[in-house]
Structure 1
Amino acid sequence: MHRTRSLLSMAGLALLLAGCGGLPSASSDKSGKVYQRESFSAEETFSRLFDANVDATCEAARRALLSQGYVISKADSGVVRGTKNFQPEGEVHVEIAFNVVCVGDGPKQQIATAYVSAQQDRYALKKNPQAASLGVSALGSISVPLSSTQDSLVKVASETIPAGEFYDRFFTLMQRMLRENTSNER
């Protein structure tokens, strides 16, 4: 009897281990090692070279963001940050945060590269019903749900917007702002 139990236990353990082989491994988990998909490809660039100094390039970035309704939170010494809020659906809120860093290039820093990345955060409305407790001495306390709720936005996703047409449109607008600003100075 003891030997039969041992054999059954060993067989069960062998089946359990064989079954674990079918589970996804940590190396195939797409959410765990995102950095492995980072390509650092030269074709996907978050930067553009401009024929202007750092101050003029960052000013063009600031004006481009302002012209599209972004709220500027920082604009100094080669850095511009701005955000814009969207509500694509009734209970969904999206925020895009732009970060622009302007770096001088060339021997006299007469040209500058603008490095740009934008992050999109997605929020969903979470409803928390409020309940009230009533104390009745003979029965104890009773919780009664009220008709009101306490709503809050909860971040459900966050990602850097990938390089592509989105940034190309921004860089084109920056170039236009740079041309307009330099033609106004003359």
Structure 2
Amino acid sequence: MPRPTPSPRPRRLGVAAALAVALTLVGGCGTTSSSGNLKVYQQEQFEPGETFSRMFDASVSQTCEAARRALLSQGYIVTVLRPDAINGSKNFQPGGEAHVQITFNIVCTDDGNQGKLSSAYVSATQDRYTLKKSPNSASVGVSAIGSLSIPFASTDDSLVKVASETIPAGVFYDRFFALMASHLKELQMDAAVD
């Protein structure tokens, strides 16, 4: 007795079901990371409470000058200096083969009141580096034996960036803005005396 040929319909349903499961899994990957956490951009809330700015009763130039003095007083090297923007960085070495750099980006804007009110927008990034060692070896020619390859203890060391993140709003910025306000008070007292 001849065997009946299977109908193509069940096979199509199996392929369709497999495709639906695959699409569901791929769709899930678009919203969560491999650890099950939300993607970074989905955690960005844009809430008014998480502020990277402060308003000061001062001109734009005075506000940025106070920010410059705050950075310099804490050992930061100012790399960009404009009347309305400042960048500065400082290096740290928390461990023998670890290196951290904090970079401040500050923008000062006029908030009206005839140039006597301004805001400072501040964000700081923290870059982490690790030491990568590459051992050297050198060939030494010895006439009786030929050439030998001898490893030397010296290395070509280089720093490799392993992470970079913006420092979140909080106590870190509060301390910086308080230091800025202190320097701004000194600047305004000096201007009043002059």
Q: What interval of TM-score do these two structures reach, taking the shorter chain for normalisation?
A: 0.7 to 0.9
Instruction: Kindly report which structure 2 residues correspond to 1:16-165, keeping only aligned pairs within 5 A, or say none.
Output: 25-29=29-33, 33-133=39-139, 143-165=149-171
- Percent of pairs with identical residues: 55
User: Equivalents in 2 of 1:130, 1:26: separation in Å?
Assistant: 44
1:178 match: 184
CA contact (8 A) 1:126 1:152 kept: yes
- TM-score (ref. length: structure 2): 0.77
C-alpha RMSD over aligned residues: 3.1
Higher mean alpha-carbon deviation, 172-181 vs 146-155, is at: 146-155
Query: What is the CA deviation profile of residues 16-74 of structure 1, one whole-angstrom value per residue up to 9, with x for unaligned ones?
Result: x6997889723211689421111111111000000001000000000011111111112
Q: Indicate the structure (1 or 2) with the bigger Cα radius of gyration.
A: 2
Deviation for aligned residue 1:143: 4.9
Q: CA deviation at 1:185?
A: 1.8
**SS across alignment from 2:124:** strand
1:50, 1:111 within 8 Å by CA — same for their partners in 2?
A: yes
Task: Identify which range, 145-154 or 127-136, moves more after superposition.
Answer: 127-136
The verdict on how the C-alpha distance between 1:141 and 1:32 changes in structure 2, with shifts beyond 3 A counting, is farther
Per-residue Cα deviation, 1:81-117 (whole angstroms, up to 9, x for no partner) = 1111111111111100001100001242220000000
Give the number of equivalent residue pairs: 171
- Moved segments of 4+, more than 6 Å: 17-24
Give the TM-score taking structure 1 as reference length: 0.80
1:169 has 2:161 as partner: no
